[in-house]
Structure 1
Amino acid sequence: MTAVPGRRSSTFTRLLRHGFTDPGDAERLLELPDMAPARADSVLLDALGAVADPDLALRSLVRLVEAQPEPDRRALLDTLIAAKPLRDRLLGVLGASEALGDHLARHPGDWRALVTYEAADLHPGVEEFEECLGGVADPVALRVAYRRCLLSIAARDVCGTIDLAETAAELADLATATLRAALTIARTEAPEDAASCRLAVIALGKCGGHELNYVSDVDVVFVAEPAGGADEDVALRAATRLASHMMRICSDTTVEGTIWPVDANLRPEGRNGPLVRTLSSHLAYYQRWAKTWEFQALLKARAVAGDPALGQSYVDAVSPLVWQAAERENFVADVQRMRRRVVDNIPADEVERELKLGPGGLRDVEFAVQLLQLVHGRSDSTLRSGSTLEALGALARGGYVGRVDAAQLDDAYRFLRSMEHRIQLYRLRRTHLVPEDSDDLRRLGRSLGLRMDPVFELNREWRRHAAVVRRLHEKLFYRPLLDAVAQLAPGETRLSARAAGQRLEALGYADPAAALRHLEALASGVTRKSAIQRTLLPVLLGWFADSADPDAGLLGFRKVSDALGKTPWYLRLLRDEGAAAENLARVLSAGRFAPDLLLRAPEAVAILGDPGGLKPRGRDHLEPEILAAVGRAQSAEDAVAVARGVRRRELFRTAAADLIGSYGTEDSPAEDDAGALLEQVGQALTDLNAATLAGALRAAVREQWGDELPTRFAVIGMGRFGGHELNYGSDADVLFVHEPREGVDEQEAARAANTVVAEMRRLLQLPTADPPLLIDVDLRPEGKNGPLVRSLSSYEAYYRRWSLVWESQALLRAEPMAGDPELGARFIELVDPLRYPMEGLGEGAVREIRRLKARMEAERLPRGADPTLHTKLGRGGLSDVEWTVQLLQMRHGWAEPGLRTTRTRQALAAAHGAGLIGTEDAQTLDEAWVLASRVRNAVMLVRGRAGDTFPSDGRELAAVGRYLGYGPGHVGDMLDDYRRTTRRARAVMETLFYDA
């Protein structure tokens, strides 16, 4: 029957529906006489439609049928139609591999290797492959037998009866059998050489790790010893000839192609070194000259051919060296550098398609796993597997990698390796580049089970898995804990009670017995939590020991761990996230203040693992959070409790950032940043207290008046609060001001304002375990005898008629902090003329300020206090610097706008800029003020309570020293430096303040 022009036949339509991209050519092939059984039965056509490339499978099937002897052609097709397992396997291979289709066309009887479908056939090992290769006498026959074995592996692979790991293991076993067969051929052709030496072949790389690709170099090392009384030199020459011949048998190209290159370049000295060495020569090289990467290569060493006893002796001898490699100087950095070099050497036009070496590729997984193995495998033998996937599983079971991370990495690695396998299987060529041609991508996607839109789905899945690999590679490969663990001495990575006590004492633990009890409680048992603790603790112990009080650090860690013991993210955070573990160690061992805050809310540990977690949160963020929480609260007490919770969290964030920042970095030493760090702390505490007061104000108003108070109300910060210079133990100096709303009686407004102040003070003074926020109103007009709150007009009347010079001086730091912003601004307008008087201070006012300063020094310094070490009232301390700067502000602020600031350091800089103080004097005062302020912060952080002088306890004094940058044994230097700095500041103060 003649087809109507332009009309598609039913066969054409069926072929199109079955995934053929060239149904016209497929239809022509099916019309061939030999393909009559295929045309007559739809089973074969359906099976072709299920393979990766139906067009390729049909073309290869036609070639295979035509290559059969005439009587066998129909029998082959009938067998395929009748036997589904054979049909799926043969057509699956033909649709995935053009190269194996070519092999079957050259050797048409080899398809029978796919007939057997029994349990033993599913997982052959080295012995079964040796049987298949047995009896071959020349390289050509070996290649044919090798391809026949490869055919059966590929069939199991594409049909899914073996998974990726089993496929890779079978390929490695086939390679092992092939190396043995090649060595047998070489020995047969040179019996004298074979008799004079013992030769062992050691596989490295993927072959050694039982995870070989379809087409890959087989990395080997040769080791030999004399045999039969032969001289060593004679034996080595004979072994070299055998090894060279064996390599050529596998690597040379013949009419049957090549098997794969045998690469011996990972041997000692690489290409410049002898091909074969004795065992002692290998060991001498590895012990004296080997580089880090050579031990990484030896991680997968496995004896595969030749003398089995010698091969095992080699593996046994080099294995301890492999697991000591992490102790080498800069080991982790060397491995990381090597990985970066690999990426840098990829041609720019290939980096995006490079499946193996590129970012997010297979090497990222393998390097990360190997680095973790080498660091932790020294003390954990369960990690010593040559297989990437087995090692990854062991790392997850041991707690070195998070279970979710390990599962994602396993999934990604399997997908990427499967892509690599199918790319190589097509033409049996060694390549790791993802093809660009759409037909190739379609076949690749379908081979991986992606059928809806193979090209789109393949690219999507590939990019998704590559992104996962890249993210986890960065996380695991570059995490700081690795380098710290690698630097531990042998045996320290696992704690033994016998050695630990001596080590703890040597590290500076005052109570090693108690420390051992903590370690036992944390690390004993077989749980995953204990396993992770055993990884963390040796490193943490060193970090604790780097502090002034290691015992306190370890005790704090146990308390936090007990509190968060059932929280799944806690130990995972310390193990995986950046510098979280080191940050926690620094915080816990630096004093009482931050650990006490943390133990009240242990979940705040998460702050230490967040890259931006240590950055203080400003008032614009905190105030809305607190006000929103107050709005949700059921009562004023609940509202203030919530505000206190936020304050506790933020106090911890600020203290942790301060403590960690005080350690500095190599590029930015802590002492260079002392002033900036101090200002950051002062600003953070100011913002936090302002937001807390705003919350307390809102809670007090809501309790009685709802949303609006009958009078406008503002809180004015004074002292260090208004100056944004709070210490951890500072009170909040404030003034309260109000102004009646329109139509509200002044007495009613005053009663409302006083009620609000009383309620705010009551709420903030409720008993709590949190650090208190104490409101100090002693700087108000008339001091303790005056009303707690005044109207704006009352302030105006008082300041106009009764204000004293000390009150004008106190107002230098006045700044609105909470409440009605417009009222706060009007208060500042009111007091500006007092604090920056026109034409400056008169001589009488200057004398009064000097008199007050002298009286304060004489009367307020605590009895018995050392005036050279008292940070507030002592010689050259905070009072000396601040009164000097404030006198300059009151004298010259009317003429110099830069002096109109509440901040001491800014005012000092402005005075210097205006020529009111010389450069050296300004630097001297600034240095003393920063140092005294930091000492006050340090005392609070270390002792957990405020103090104006250095602690007398030795450990506490040492901890203050560590905060200020003084190492062990340098407490005396710290005190000498403080006295010297403040003595110089006192001299400057006397010149500027007293006109001495």
Structure 2
Amino acid sequence: MNLPQLPVLPDLLLPLARRGTEILSRARDASPDCEALLPATWPQARQQALARVCACSDFVVVQLDRCPWILAELLERKILERSLAPGEIAADLQARLQGCDDEAELMRILRDFRNLHQVRIVWRDLNRQADLIETCRDLSALADSCIDQACQWLYPRLCTLYGTPLGQDGQPQRMVILGMGKLGAFELNLSSDVDLIFAFPQRGETVGASRTLDNQTFFIRLGQRLIKVLDAVTIDGFVFRVDMRLRPYGASGALAFSFAALDEYYREHGRDWERYALIKARVVSGDQQASDALLQMLQPFVYRRYLDFSAIESLREMKRLIQFEVQRKGLAENIKLGGGGIREVEFIAQVFQLIHGGYDPALQQRALLDVLTTLRQHGYLRRSVVAELADGYRFLRYVEHALQAIADRQTHTLPHGEADRARVACMLGCADWTAFCEQLAFWRERIDKHFQRLITKPAVGWSEPGVAEWRALWCENWTETAVLPRLQQAGFRDAESAWQRLCTLRDSAQVRGMQVLGRERLDIFMPCMLLAIAEQSEPDQVLVRVLPLVEGIARRSRYIVLLLENRAALRRLLSLCGASAWIAEQITRFPVLLDELLDAKRLYNPPAAAELAYELNGLLLRLPEDDLEQQMETLRRFKQAHRLRVAVSEIVGTLPLMKVSDYLTWLAEAILEQVLALAWRQLVARYGQPRCSDGSPCDPGFLVLGYGKVGGIELGHESDLDLVFIHNGEPGSETDGIKLIDSAQFFIRLGQRMIHLLSTQTASGRLYEVDMRLRPSGAAGLLVSSMTAYEHYQSRDAWTWEHQALVRARPLSGCPRLAREFLRVRGAVLGRARDLQTLRVDVSEMRARMRANLGTRSTAAGTAGKAFSAQERFDLKHDAGGIVDIEFMVQYAVLAWSHRYPELLRHTDNIRILDGLAQTGLLSGTEVRLLQEAYKAYRIAAHRLSLQKQSGVVSGDRFHDERQAVMRIWRELGLF
């Protein structure tokens, strides 16, 4: 696979190419030395090379603009346009470090050195002055030099502080650093991090300083200093990102291990993926004798002395997990991990190495292209197959370098921007992006075809190899030291905690007391579930949230069987538990909700208002009219199921915030309609019908008003219901049943019955908490008021804050005639003219009391112009500039101006009332948009916190601009 040596720049990139000329001009003006080394007249070939590099690489442009001496030095030393000899990079760095005595200076020198050689390597790669092998070799040599010489610089200085570490033989110890992955194979890419393992030959202690350390502690501190020197981002950039996760026990393991500890770990706990990783391991720093001893010690673990066909199963499992991540994260365009990508070529080569390498030493190589050549020479693969794999691999590595050359970012994903696509196509010698994509698709298809033939087998069900390993972990008496690496390998960050939780479940009385059949089912299910948990992005979190459910359903094997037989349902369960603590808690409390996971289409598509009411009515019609218990359970299960569907839709993004509140409000309205109907039938069956004010039988002559969130169509997942009950009974009349009671008493009992049906705790929980404190005279008033009494109270006795609450009040269910009457009363009460100064005082004083009682101490006051800090807390609802401030402003506006603009009374939700304020010109469009966007942002954050079972309090510096805008508008309205 040959690439054009001099790709032609498309017109789109010509303006970017001219950046090189501008940089040179500034460099000449800035320094006489640069003017001499960068003459105005350059050879045409060099001018074209500069143009190509500046057009394709922002990284090079930034470096040359920041440090024009880089190009001057590269030209002066004549190393820009020639290959370097082995050891030349190391010698260059060694010379630069002569006389360096300060760690900050060390870091600066290393970064300048890295940037200089990175510019040189990118220049040569993009202009095809170096082939793939040379580019990767120079990058790896650059990393080797920086790692080794930084370690050599740091070591004597730590010895001065802590003494020299001695082994058991009394000899000084030096750190041995293993380079893993592409670094180990001299295949480093343009923006690769370096995978390292730190080791030292023997245990012992330091000598020669007042403070003695054991050798492991010494080398851990040395490793920490080395990582800082290489990895820390300073004004000069970084040297190399350092990844230590391939060490024993991963991120939870010690940073440095003795040779003996490494040997014991790999013999006792080493996994197949670690064999795969160690194939490319190479010592990049350390004395030669100790390095040879370490590699010889590791060899038997990597290369078995027999044909090891189990390796192919391990690689299949690894590939399957990668494919799952590709699908889950949408990485299909990732040229490394996606189908037909770089990783598949590596897997093909390494499966032969792991299977045959123990008895065929020719396969014990690090570089992939060398391994492919050996596979052809030794007859493992046909010549044509090797040729396609090698050419496809080279093409993908060139693409990888092109992607990373643009901005020195470690990316393997194809760009979406037009300019970057033009750059990539140009760097690969293609006429345009379409031609590049065709060539890329060709090579990926060829690679994937060979991979499928050699590695992949058809997916199987619950008998797949991964389940067998998890079954052994669950069912056998594994020690903690044996199981923790497996859990870490599976992605558990806190493997010890995960194992303790599994042991607690396995040893619980609930599980130990199970019958044989149930225990057998659980023992089949747990490995399947653990395998599925390990595929989640946050397995620790999912395990914590799902184990209480497993314990709860352990003896109810119907649910175990449901999840066993419906793998998709299990995956949905785990995904949802990972996404929301609230969902996990709901399913744990009410396992019947597991049935909802069976139908994805239904789960992710909650019905509209009319469908909700129709469905609930149909469910209740199937029940006997006198079976109250079953009716209450049906109502509760209906609410739980649909509330779950709404939460799931919110999490996956199919329902925006406003629609979430709409659905939750529709759900409450459908339930209230049925609860009123049930309570009415029960009371009428017992007492007969009451008489309405016109003397006719009431049917029902009762109205349920919604205030607060339900009235404003803004219900959340855990919202209670602010309700007020109104009746239209005839004063002094009685019911017409066998057992007579006063009509007013009938309606009070009707209200009590509704509250009982809504709030009674049953096995399926309660429907809603009900708050009746907004009724006339509050807790001291009658539970149910007549419309006449309600109108009298609102017109004459209600406080301003009660009129504020009335702004959000609307009929939810009950008598249509009463609903119309209520709207008339509401319009008359809210639409009367008021003294604005008195209104401002009333609203402001009520808001101040609420802030004092409900807001956080640090931010409730809402000082004008105050800069909120992260150390403070912000209550999204109650603090200054929060939700309630916006609600109060809306309510103030309605009370102040609806006598002139009755259209403000049309709606009860804040967003549409704000629209009305803009349409009438009472608030500017800009102010309204600010308030609406802030209101939505607060509510979105509150919803997300609610789904994670967290309070609606966030860091004080969040929503800074929104809060300031809300407080400003508050003051502009004359409120204080």
TM-score by length of 2: 0.45
The higher radius of gyration belongs to 1
TM-score by length of 1: 0.44
